[in-house]
Amino acid sequence: MANYRRRRASSWRMIAVAVAAIFVVVSIAAVLIVNTFLNKIDNDPEGFVETIPEIYDVPTESLVHEIPKEEGITNILLLGVDNRNSVVASPTERSDSMIILTIDEKNKKFKLTSLQRDMMVYFPSSDNIHKINSANAEGGPLLAMRVINDTFRLNIEKYVLVNMIGMEKIIDLVGGVPVEVSESELKALNAELTMINLTFKNTEPAAYLEKTGAQLLDGRQAVTYARIRQYDDDYHRMGRQREVLQAMLDQFLKADLATKTKALNEGLPLIKTNITNDEIIQLGIDLLPMMDATIDQMQIPTSGDFREYSGTIWMNLCDYNAMIPKLQQFIYGKTYDFDKVREIPGAPNSSISLPSSYEKKILETAKPDESVDPALTSSTDSAATSETSAG
């Protein structure tokens, strides 16, 4: 009987050892697979030094109120550039799209906040206003994050950069994305496709859409859909960008293992980021319980908090102090006290008029067929303009 117990105990030990051995082998294989994928991500762009140009690399402001930071809430800046000479994104292109991705583990939600690219902002140490999308061109993603943080009192430290043409390949890898196309969008998309197909003569041209309504778009069709704004405006375009991103995520999550593997294998090299491999692994672990999370959406500027000017350049003059609490509420679910940011000349509630030198520059360079905002010709109130809803 004792021998039986010893043999039985020995058998269980052997089984336990075998299970442990299998677990170790599987774990090692999983790590190797993960590392294989992670090593494809460009988080050390060759020839690109992650520094802010000296002219803008000045100490941050001394603030009375702390910048919000909540456990379980991570903000990552998504930058889309439109470098048509390559599928790989350049770190020093104007950012055609800027989206703050919020990972809210507490409430199991993803949140996307689109930033309109023509908003005028201050760069560090500069008294002149610049378009927010030029920050990436002037100093890469680090300056883009610095400008966005200074403007909205945020603490974004991580970015992901992708070329819009690279996005075509990623969307194709997940099998395309389902989109509802209106009549106006159909006409604008097909017109834009003509130009895109001519630009990339060495690639397979995308087919024109033949119908409206729900349909599956391939990579080029989907990216073109996300870029169009001729028939409406940039605010609707931001909505289309978020729609394509969400559809791409949905397609990836429901794809089979072979499709997921191929998408990761070929799509990850098209991405540049400063998120380390260890951080990506931890993010993946944290995100596992959120794979069926909802996606909330917001766009900046918010209705009533900006004014548009058009001349040879088109720009948005924003009341950021009015928008900061709204963005805080969206990201964190509550508001915080914050140090006011510098007023943008000519923006709603701004005590500063648009400088006369700036008005003169716009008026002198405006073409005869371009409309110049009447406020720019007014000597009494250069800040009075028509206000446009964010839609």
Does residue 28 lie in a domain region?
yes
Sign of the dihedral through C-alpha 237, 243, 244, 249: positive
pLDDT, residue 126, reads 87
Question: Ramachandran region of residue 137, left (φ > 0), alpha (ψ -120 to 50) or beta?
Answer: alpha
Percent residues over pLDDT 90 in the chain: 26
Task: Report the alpha-carbon distance of residue 60 to residue 315 in Å, rounded.
Answer: 26
**Is 185:228 a contact under the CB 8 Å cutoff?**
yes
Q: What confidence tens digit (pLDDT) does each residue in 341-374 have?
A: 999 998 999 998 877 666 545 444 333 333 333 3
> What is the total count of domains within the chain?
1
Task: Reply yes or no on whether the pLDDT at 35 is more than 70.
Answer: no
The highest-confidence range among 1-15, 34-48, 361-375, by mean pLDDT, is 34-48
Gyration radius from the chain CA atoms:
25
Task: Give the position of tokens 């989206």.
Answer: 99
Does 301 sit behind a cis peptide bond, omega within 30 degrees of 0 on the bond before it? Answer: yes
Does residue 31 lie in a domain region?
yes
Task: Reply yes or no on whether the pLDDT at 16 is more than 70.
Answer: no
Checking DSSP bridges between strand 73-81 and strand 158-163, what pairing results, if any?
parallel
Does residue 11 lie in a domain region?
yes
Q: What confidence tens digit (pLDDT) does each residue in 158-200 have?
A: 998 887 677 788 888 889 999 999 898 888 889 888 888 887 7
Does residue 180 lie in a domain region?
no
Task: Report the alpha-carbon distance of residue 188 to residue 228 in Å, rounded.
Answer: 7
Does residue 14 lie in a domain region?
yes
- 140: closest CA among 275, 45, 67? 45
Task: Reply yes or no on whether the pLDDT at 149 is more than 90.
Answer: yes
Can you list the positions of beta strands (E) in 24-104? 73-81, 95-104
pTM of the model: 0.74
Higher pLDDT, 43 or 329: 329
> Minimum mean pLDDT among 77-91, 159-173, 368-382: which range?
368-382
Domain with 19, as residue range(s), is 1-39
**Mean pLDDT along residues 15-35:** 53
